[in-house]
């Protein structure tokens, strides 16, 4: 065999575990057809975090309107985008260097499974004992008339100027987070939702708070609507030619666009019309498909080994093993029933390294915090409130720590959490609505995973002022039952 393990894909699901296998003496190959590091590093999480941050700061500054704020904090998207592109352009090359540091072999090209022990890249074939599929997810573009006019999250996170009027199809993470950016930028948008809920995996009263804030800032919501078609009133050259990011050789110092791509990733004034089956018709400058993501496994040879998949990915057992014993799936492409987050992919990758070394039982998961990076943020961790309210096993306590400690929270009066406890008053879940909900969620994840009691929390001394300390202090009301 050429290798002990071949990873198809180079994101966190691959290299986080692959480096430990190499350290243990196994020979590892990572195959990547695009940019090293995958979607999160180059086209997703990192780009979104960088572009979102100034708008988050703007919203925090607005808390002091009339009580000290002078002038307006404005974001120059064009300059911000140039900064983003410069920073993100180095991610793939940075990881290329890390792979070299970890002594991981790499092959640049599309990995196609030929049989249970062979993967082909271009004209070369590599043999291996184990194959790990880490190809992640890709945005869903609905199969409707005019789908060639739809942009996805990758496009929006690279657009040179923000559209004055955006139409967003979908209200999950991507749709609602982009709507928050557009709202803080003072722009308008229409959000089309097929069902009755936005961010359906989050606490709906908090989601409604976000929706009301967005409505006040020029975002319109259209529930129970199914898009039928998208039309365009201007001529766009070769609209189906997607813009791709490529690496100009493994030693290039920059990330370049495909010179053959013709699609303009820009807005056109009122050029697009989105028609829904109900008769609703909306005109805008730019249309985003944000209806979810699906397994990125087309044309990688699954049929050659008899593997099937669904939208959720490749079905695996408790060892991340597919129906073919020596082929595994890890990260977002694995259908595990667990949230598809980069943090989960890292957890799975490290587990799989132990599994492949023969040193692991079935995978287990701690509670997983999930955050919608809207403005403000909302987060959920552990037992959700909607389950707790339907059971006699739990109590839900509302902790309105922003109202009590607005001075310590940068004048944020609305921050709150709903804390779920069991019959023994052990914290088992939390829903958070706050500017820094992600940090409070991490605090609750630690409390829940380590089973820290209310009495132990009450004994500890915390840094003050801080969002965690004031939230924890309000837990006294649960501990002392008043």
Q: How far apart are CA 148 and CA 267, in angstroms?
A: 14
Give the closest residue to 162 by CA, choosing from 189, 196, 137.
189
What is the per-residue pLDDT for 263?
Answer: 52
State the 10-residue block means of pLDDT for the chain, 482 residues long: 96 97 98 92 93 96 91 94 94 92 96 98 98 97 96 96 98 98 98 97 98 98 98 76 40 37 74 98 98 96 96 96 98 96 97 96 97 98 97 96 90 95 96 97 98 94 93 83 52
Q: State the residue for tokens 């009580």.
A: 67
- Model-wide pTM > 0.85: yes
In this predicted structure, what is the pLDDT of residue 237? Answer: 64
Q: For residue 427, give the nearest of 401, 406, 457 by alpha carbon.
A: 457
Q: What is the pLDDT of residue 477?
A: 77
> Residue 238: what pLDDT?
58
Residue 281: count other Cβ atoms within 10 Å of its Cβ.
11
E strands present in 16-141: 28-32, 105-108, 111-115, 118-121, 124-133, 137-139
Run of H or E including 394: strand 394-399
H/E stretch holding 68: none
The closest of 423, 477, 466, 471 to 447, measured between CA atoms, is 471
Position 244 scores a pLDDT of: 41
- The count of C-alpha atoms lying within 13 angstroms of the C-alpha of 303, restricted to the half-sphere facing its C-beta, is 2
Q: Are 383 and 397 in contact (CB under 8 A)?
A: no
Q: From CA 311, how far away is CA 333, in angstroms rounded?
A: 9
Q: CA distances (Å), 401 to each of 11, 408, 433, in order?
A: 38, 10, 10
CA–CA distance, 435 with 442 (Å, rounded to integer) = 14
Query: Helix (H, G, I), strand (E, B), or coil: what is residue 22?
Result: helix
């Amino acid at each position: 065999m050429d290798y002990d393990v071949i990873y198809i894909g180079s994101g966190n699901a691959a290299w986080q575990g692959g480096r430990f296998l190499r350290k243990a003496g196994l020979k590892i190959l990572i195959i990547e057809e695009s940019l090293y590091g995958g979607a999160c590093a180059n086209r997703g999480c990192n780009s979104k975090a960088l572009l979102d941050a100034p708008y988050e700061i703007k919203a925090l500054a607005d808390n002091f309107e009339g009580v000290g704020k002078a002038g307006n904090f404005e974001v120059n998207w064009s300059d911000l985008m140039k900064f983003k592109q410069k920073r993100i352009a180095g991610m793939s090359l940075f990881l290329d260097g890390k792979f070299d540091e970890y002594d991981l072999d790499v092959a640049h090209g599309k990995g196609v499974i030929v049989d249970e022990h062979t993967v082909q890249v271009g004209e070369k074939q590599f043999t291996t004992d184990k194959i790990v599929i880490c190809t992640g997810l890709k945005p869903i573009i609905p199969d409707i008339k005019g789908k060639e006019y739809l942009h996805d999250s990758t496009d929006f996170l690279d657009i040179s100027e923000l559209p004055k009027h955006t139409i967003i199809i979908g209200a999950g993470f991507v749709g609602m987070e982009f709507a928050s950016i557009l709202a803080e930028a003072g722009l308008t948008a229409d959000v089309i939702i097929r069902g009755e809920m936005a961010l359906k995996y989050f606490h709906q009263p908090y989601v409604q708070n976000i929706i009301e804030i967005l409505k006040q800032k020029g975002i319109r919501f259209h529930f129970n609507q199914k898009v039928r078609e998208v039309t365009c009133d201007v001529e766009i050259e070769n609209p189906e030619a997607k813009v791709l990011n490529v690496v100009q050789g493994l030693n290039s110092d920059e990330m370049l666009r495909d010179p053959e791509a013709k699609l303009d990733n820009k807005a056109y004034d009122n050029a697009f019309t989105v028609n829904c089956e109900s008769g609703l018709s909306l005109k805008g400058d730019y249309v985003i498909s944000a209806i979810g993501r699906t397994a990125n496994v087309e044309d990688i040879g699954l049929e050659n080994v008899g593997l099937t998949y669904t939208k959720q990915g490749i079905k695996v057992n408790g060892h991340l093993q597919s129906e073919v014993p020596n082929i595994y799936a890890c990260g977002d492409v694995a259908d595990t029933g667990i949230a598809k987050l980069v943090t989960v992919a890292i957890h799975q990758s490290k587990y799989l390294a132990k599994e492949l070394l023969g040193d692991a039982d079935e995978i287990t998961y701690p509670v997983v915090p999930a955050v919608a990076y809207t403005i403000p943020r909302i987060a959920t961790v552990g037992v959700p409130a909607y389950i707790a309210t339907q059971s006699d096993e739990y109590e839900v306590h509302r902790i309105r720590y922003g109202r009590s400690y607005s001075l310590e929270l940068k004048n944020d009066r609305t921050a709150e959490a709903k804390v779920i406890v069991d019959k023994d008053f052990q914290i088992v879940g939390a829903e958070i609505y706050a500017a820094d909900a992600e940090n409070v969620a991490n605090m609750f994840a630690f409390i829940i995973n380590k089973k820290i009691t209310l009495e132990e929390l009450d004994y500890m001394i915390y840094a003050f002022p801080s969002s965690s300390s004031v939230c924890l202090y309000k837990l006294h009301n649960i501990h002392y039952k008043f």
